[in-house]
Amino acid sequence: METFRTAIQVVHKVSRVWLLQLLGLLLVSITIASPNTIKYTGTFSSLEYHKEGGDLLGVELRIVWTRAGYQGVLQISEGEPDELIIVHPVFEDNKVSFKFDKPGAYRGVFKGTINQKGIIGVLKFDTGGISKIELERKRSYWD
């Protein structure tokens, strides 16, 4: 009977050690699998109405997921809002870039970084102009 009790105690100790190892492995895998992931989709905007001149100024970008990958709509307003431009953002960790091309309007590239608060970067226009932008993650100006 003493041998049986000893065997049961050993099984309990091994079970506890195995359970603790399993919990430790689970905790490590959760930590590795879910670092501070960045949500790429959403609305990012700096559009703002200025009462003095009656102008709408800024930039707004809406990024969504489609079966073809990420797509977005870009709107630039320098007094009056221009037509929407379809863009195809490319993400690499916290970096985002895309080309924009609206015949008769704006053409160029955007390169920047994205985080949980928004997007910061530079619009480089084919005309040679450069515009540094900070787009806050928030509801659309149009909502």
- Residue spans per domain, the chain: 1-35, 42-137
Predicted pLDDT at 89: 98
First to last CA, the chain: 76
Nearest to 100 by CA among 85, 114, 81: 85
Predicted pLDDT at 75: 96
Predicted pLDDT at 17: 56
Q: Which residues of the chain have pLDDT under 50?
A: 19, 22, 26-34
Let me know how many helices (H) and strands (E) the chain has, helices first. 1, 10
Q: Spelled out in words, what is the top-level CATH class assigned to the domain 42-137?
A: mainly beta
Q: How far apart are CA 91 and CA 67, in angstroms?
A: 16
83, HSE (Cβ side, Cα atoms, 13 Å) = 10
